[in-house]
A and B are shown apart, each in its own frame.
Chain A
Amino acid sequence: MNIADELLNGSRLAMSRAITAVENEYDNAVDIMQQLYAHTGNAHVIGITGPPGSGKSTLTDKLAKAYRLQGKTVGIIAVDPTSPFSGGAILGDRIRMNDLTLDQGVFIRSMGTRGSLGGLSRKTAETVKIMDAAGMDVILVETVGVGQSEVDIIKTADTVIVVLVPGLGDDIQAIKAGILEIGDVFVINKADHDGVDRLNTELEMMLELNQQKVDWRPPIKRVIANRGEGINELVDSITEQIAHSRQSGQFVNRRTQRTKSELLAMLDEQIGRHVRKKLSDEGQIDQLVASVESRDKNPYAVVNDIMASVLR
């Protein structure tokens, strides 16, 4: 099967196989991505992040349904943590999106973090591109929680939604400052629980302090995802945010930034791989490590020497 061709012709199996190829770094992965790249850039990418238990999957399910009613096709990437002990994972978000399985306008893919922060971020970005090339209008990326890797993944989105719930303790403090800064829309889910007003106030205060975006004030939307309440208002806020982002030039800026960091990251990775391979092929690594450890040489000098010889 020529995966890229079939994908562009509408094959869902090809889309699935393409995602597997990039996830597993198969030999044909780069080739596939090269063929697909020209067809990317059209989808609206929405990142959904928040602490565990905040109801992200349920919210993702409801958002997807809302977009489907608008006639849009939706891709969903659901990320779950890989066990650091076994390397395995229970990818359990799909179970909350059961009614979407047979909708041919929706494609849901579950991914494990697989233990490599940088790797996950890149693979998610590539999966987004694959779904984009396949013609998905909206792509929802649902992350695990609110750690550093989530910040990276989320930066690939055009709209970042941060989901919080009342009563989880020090919600705000627990959230990395990076997330608060890049959140475009904040959602308080389970808004019928105690503590919702207090959370709302705390959030408003934090947003005031962290006000980075001068002209876009991130709204705080209250929803009860499992009852489908507040979803339409949330969709409206997202629409407003995107419109504003396009008008102000933010949209293009962000994408350009993203492309830049992706390009540089790819470059770093390739170069690093190339150099490491060379060293390993030439059997030098152990020797160099020994000389540094014994203080015979210092690591700075060693690296400079490698650079000089490799990049001649």
Chain B
Amino acid sequence: MNNESLKLKVAEYTAKVAKASAKFPERKNLEYNRLYTPIDLEGMDYEKELGLPGTYPFTRGVQPTMYRGRFWTMRMYAGFSTAEESNKRYRYLLSSGGTGLSCAFDLPTQIGYDSDDVISEGEVGKVGVAIDSLADMEILFDQIDLGKVSTSMTINAPASVLLAMYIAVAEKQGVDPTKLNGTIQNDILKEYAARGTYIFPPKPSMRLITNIFEYCSKNVPNWNTISISGYHIREAGSTAVQEIAFTIADGIAYCEAAIKAGLDVDDFAGRLSFFWNAHNNVLEEVAKFRASRRIWAKIMKERFGAKNPKSWMLRVHTQTAGSMLTAQQPENNVVRVALQTAAAVMGGTQSLHTNSKDEAMALPTEASVRVALRTQQIVAYESGLADVVDPLAGSYYVEAMTNQIETEALKYIQKIDDLGGAVVAIEEGYIQREIQDSAYKWQKEIENNDRVIVGVNKFQIEEKPVEGLLRVDASVGESQKKKLAKLRAERDNVAVNAALAKLEVACSDEDVNLMPIIMEAVKTYATLGEICNVMRKVFGEYQAHATL
């Protein structure tokens, strides 16, 4: 092929069509070229930059067989109201073909408050299940064999406590911790930057995280100790590039903290996992996934000197973009989720949660969550997208985009390195400001009609109020309070107090791994709030101060 003559032809083509773009105002902000050709991939080295799936740098996927060997885990995030209600929903999902569990906890639980705390008023059971103690956890997994199912728990600041409870429930079921499969999100940095459910300041939070890495590497070896998350950063308004750049910067910070705490990188790196967003721009998302794998592999091998190939692999859970769902014409959301699913699958995700059509307004009903699950199943079985590994490899556009996203992400990562790392970048407000700026830009584009959201700023209809939304019973708060009163009356309070006292002492000693002590406390039926209050006492509380 004659590149020079092709270049000329492309130049002519570009000039001709530039005029066409100008007449199409909603497309004028597109940041990439209309047409990609071999010229865009000039000089690319297949072996070095792509290779085969399952080999470094894993651009094409972390497993050699990918979905030919096994579909991604269809892991639907669920949880609301009481442990009894959520347990029902989990069993429904498993019986409908869901292949993994994903627990959503309410805000008091996520922020380490009991349901009867003053600050929990009105919030109990609303965005997830209320878990106050091991007793609730036992109900949550009633009739679910923890030896057979893998469970992801979206819990961050008090992750140590919920993990301890999970292990305790498994032990009661007779399941050895070495057999447990699952993930805790446990990613505090993005809480400070984008999600908001922090409790303690960064230093003690990093300590808890490295304690978990160490404890699990010895006792729960099949457990993913962290899900380094970009989903929320994207939901907060960042671009695709920022999503992976800031998350990978967080990942670097966690690795550095763990190494500083004395762990060998190959001891924990294989159990790090990630969490991406599956947004609407299908092809850009696929490129994003591929770029993220290549970036992380290089960082783990070259920057951290990891030797075990497992340490180089970026394994990822994905969720379709909640922020792209509309309250207007909610049926359209099913289509959005289908496209986002296609993106995640072609991007090579290891597990996937799909949102339901009513989620711009409320938590999903059983019927709408079924459609969301079916969406994954249809893509898996009917679309052919899962039949070939990394099907878009070789596409001029997707490869060029993968390269471009990698280049731009590395610039951000360098910038954060220059600032002193992700922790400093967050304390200085750099990451938050970048996210806010992108969010504001996005909103302005929509309001200026430079970006179309179907049904919202174009193709609107006269909306009728949506019927049949899920409502969480307001009495959940009351019933949890009663449960707590009963628990406190019936448990061995001497044992509880002893365990809490032991925890307080251990918290003050930075060299102590807190996990075994938290496990003890949890087994005495000390509540989540009681345990977290001890930690608050010693560690203090994070004071958010980043401004607009």
Contacts and interface: CB of A to CB of B under 8 A. Distances in A.
A58 B548 contact: no
Interface stretch (A91-99, A123-131, A229-237): A91-99
11 contacts: A57-B545, A58-B545, A90-B547, A92-B547, A92-B548, A95-B544, A95-B547, A96-B543, A96-B545, A96-B547, A226-B545
A217 to B, nearest CB: 33
B20 to A, nearest CB: 35
A90 B543 CA distance: 20
Contacts of B544: 95
Q: How large is the interface on B (under 10, 10 to 19, 20 to 34, 35 or more residues)?
A: under 10
Interface in A71-112: 90, 92, 95-96, 98
A9 to B, nearest CB: 32
Contacts of B547: 90, 92, 95-96
A190 to B, nearest CB: 10
A254 B229 CA distance: 57
Interface in B465-493: none
A121 to B, nearest CB: 24
B300 to A, nearest CB: 29
Nearest to B427: A226
A68 B545 CA distance: 21
Contacts of A57: 545
Interface string A199-214: 0000000000000000
Given A58-B545, A96-B547, A226-B543, 9 more contacts: A57-B545, A90-B548, A92-B547, A95-B544, A95-B545, A96-B543, A96-B545, A98-B543, A226-B545
B324 to A, nearest CB: 27
A98 B543 CA distance: 9
Nearest to A55: B545
B425 to A, nearest CB: 14
A131 B463 CA distance: 51
Interface string B521-548: 0000000000000000000000111011
Contacts of A90: 547-548
Contacts of A58: 545
Chain A to chain B: the 9 pairs with minimum beta-carbon distance, closest first = A92-B547, A96-B545, A90-B548, A92-B548, A95-B547, A95-B545, A58-B545, A98-B543, A90-B547
A110 to B, nearest CB: 12
Nearest to B545: A96
A165 B548 CA distance: 21
B426 to A, nearest CB: 13
Contacts of A95: 544-545, 547
A252 B34 CA distance: 74
A90 B547 CA distance: 9
A205 B379 CA distance: 71
B421 to A, nearest CB: 14
A92 B547 CA distance: 6
A231 to B, nearest CB: 15
A98 B545 CA distance: 9
A98 B544 CA distance: 9
A244 B543 CA distance: 36
B439 to A, nearest CB: 15
A270 B548 CA distance: 38
A58 B428 CA distance: 13
A83 B331 CA distance: 42
A204 B543 CA distance: 33
A92 B545 CA distance: 9
A90 B546 CA distance: 13
A58 B547 CA distance: 12
A96 B545 CA distance: 5
Interface in A218-232: 226
A12 to B, nearest CB: 24
